[in-house]
Amino acid sequence: MRLIYAVFLLPMLLGAASEPPFGIQVVDAQTGRGVPLMTLTTTNHQAFVTDSAGWVAFQEPGLMETEVFFHVSGPGYSVAKDGFGYAGVRLNPKAGEKAEIKVQRHNIAERLYRITGQGIYRDSALLGLGSPLSKPNLNAGVTGQDSVQALPWKGRLFWLWGDTNVAGYPLGNFHSTCAWSDLPGKGGLEPEQGVNLEYLTTQEGRVRKMVPTEEKGVVWVFGLLAVADKAEKDHLLGHYGRFERLDKRVEHGLVEFDEAAGHFKPVVQLGDESDWRHPEGNAVRVTSEEGDYFYFAEGFANTRAKADYDSVLKTTSYQALAWSEEKQSYQWQSEQPPVTQAAEAKMIRDGKMPAEKARLQVQDAATGKPVLIHRASINWNAYRQCWIMIASQNLGAESMLGEVWYAEAPAPDGPWKKAVKIASHPKYTFYNPRHHVFFDQEGGRVIYFEGTYTETFSGNPVATPRYDYNQVMYRLDLGDPRLSEVR
């Protein structure tokens, strides 16, 4: 009886599976471009998240050929609410057909695509549509990546991340991961299209440990920079830390990329007394009357070292920005640790510093409320003719670490005064933003930045499938009149 029933049912199942999905594309009403990370939710709580081209491939038994209401939501975008307060659309899903949903963008920055992880163009593939990537749905087994750094090196782009999740097991690579890609115009995609990553892998095709060690803990590398020695040989350096847990570092120092070995090797071991005398955060090279320096922006660019190989390796070469009560001014010096935003605010409250001398008291340009900077990327911008900051906010009203701000200053160390919010991720996290100067377009008017999108620290119990713990790219037009408020 069971066999007869199975034989009878099989043609129906095969017929249903062979029908093409119904395609739904969510597009930015302003640009017409597909919007990633938009969620369509049915009245019985089935959620479908758009891929990097804004597509959802919908094929739900029972909900085809009938009217279906989809709630539409996503960070920074929305559709109008109806008379009952529901933000969504009614569609009639039919196999092989397509529909479009236009959304209004509230973010100043435009969300473009996901750079890392599995299923970047999942729904596009199910709909038989193409993608710009050579490996659009799984690359070296990577399903998640945290905290990016990237820079031009050896004529290509060199990428580095922290922890990496993989498809094969819950424990992935926690000793940093790296990849190469080609520059736009030199074999690489244009930045609005995506990034074709070529991961550094083992012979088995798994992502390679970039700071291999048998010791316990995870290894992270920050402050990545390229510098030449006296013989004009290029070196790729960074600061590494080995952690047994998030708040317990058990080893740190400097690492250098060994091209023959294909991974980083420690070159300088540091002790706890060298807490700030090393590369950190995002490194940016600055040329001024004082000479060439690397400035290191964790939140603010408050530490620096001369931009030569020997100086980067020596702790005695590092300087920090600190307030001198005697001189009533900021000084670059080597004894005191760098000033922090909180410490500067306290000095102002205690009457030890005039408020007009502050360099780190960032305020919302619209409300005047303080903006507590968490992590930032600082670079010179030719279009605005100033230093610009892309920063995540700590303890924002909409999210703990998901609000992204734009600010300007006449120098890499400030003063930073007003800021405009450019992207919001309510009840979610978007941390460690990185502005990729090598992707700048139109003389710096159009810039690109990415960050880690994750439910970690957000308090949100629901992680977004495929997107969570991955890198998401945004584009920002610095000619947008809303950014004029920072001046």
pLDDT for 396: 97
In a domain, 62, yes or no: yes
Sign of CA dihedral 433, 438, 439, 445: positive
In a domain, 452, yes or no: no
In a domain, 252, yes or no: no
Parent domain of 85 = 17-106
Which structure tokens are listed for 175? 């000793």
Q: What CATH number should be reported for the domain holding residue 24? A: 2.60.40.1120
pLDDT for 7: 47
In a domain, 178, yes or no: no
pLDDT for 247: 86
Which structure tokens are listed for 84? 């009952």
Which structure tokens are listed for 128? 């038989």
Q: Where are the alpha helices (DSSP H) in 414-457?
A: none
**Residues in contact with 3: Cβ distance below 8 Å, sequence separation at least 6, in sequence order:** none
pLDDT for 16: 52
Is residue 118 within 8 Å of residue 145, measured between CB atoms? Answer: no
Which structure tokens are listed for 300? 């603010």
Secondary structure E strands in 385-469:
386-393, 404-409, 418-423, 429-435, 446-454
In a domain, 334, yes or no: no
Main-chain dihedrals φ then ψ at residue 254, nearest 5 degrees: -110, 140
Quote the number of domains for the chain. 1
Helix (H, G, I), strand (E, B) or coil at 439: helix
In a domain, 438, yes or no: no
In a domain, 80, yes or no: yes
Alpha-carbon Rg of the chain, whole angstroms?
Answer: 24
In a domain, 302, yes or no: no
pTM over 0.85, yes/no: yes
Q: How far apart are CA 294 and CA 318, in angstroms?
A: 10
pLDDT for 98: 98
Per-residue pLDDT of the chain (487 residues; tens, 9 = 90+): 454 544 455 455 555 558 999 999 999 999 999 999 999 999 999 999 999 999 999 999 999 999 999 999 999 999 999 999 999 999 999 999 999 999 999 999 999 999 999 999 999 999 999 999 999 999 999 999 999 999 999 999 999 999 999 999 999 999 999 999 999 999 999 999 999 999 999 999 999 999 999 899 999 999 999 999 999 999 999 999 999 988 899 999 999 999 999 999 999 999 988 999 999 999 999 999 999 999 999 999 999 999 999 999 999 999 999 999 999 999 999 999 999 999 999 999 999 999 999 999 999 999 999 999 999 999 999 999 999 999 999 999 999 999 999 999 999 999 999 999 999 999 999 999 999 999 999 999 999 999 999 999 999 999 999 999 999 999 999 999 999 999 8
Which structure tokens are listed for 290? 């004082």
Q: Which of 207, 187, 191 is nearest to 199 (CA)?
A: 207
Q: How far apart are CA 224 and CA 242, in angstroms?
A: 16
Give the distance from CA 261 to its chain's centroid. Answer: 28
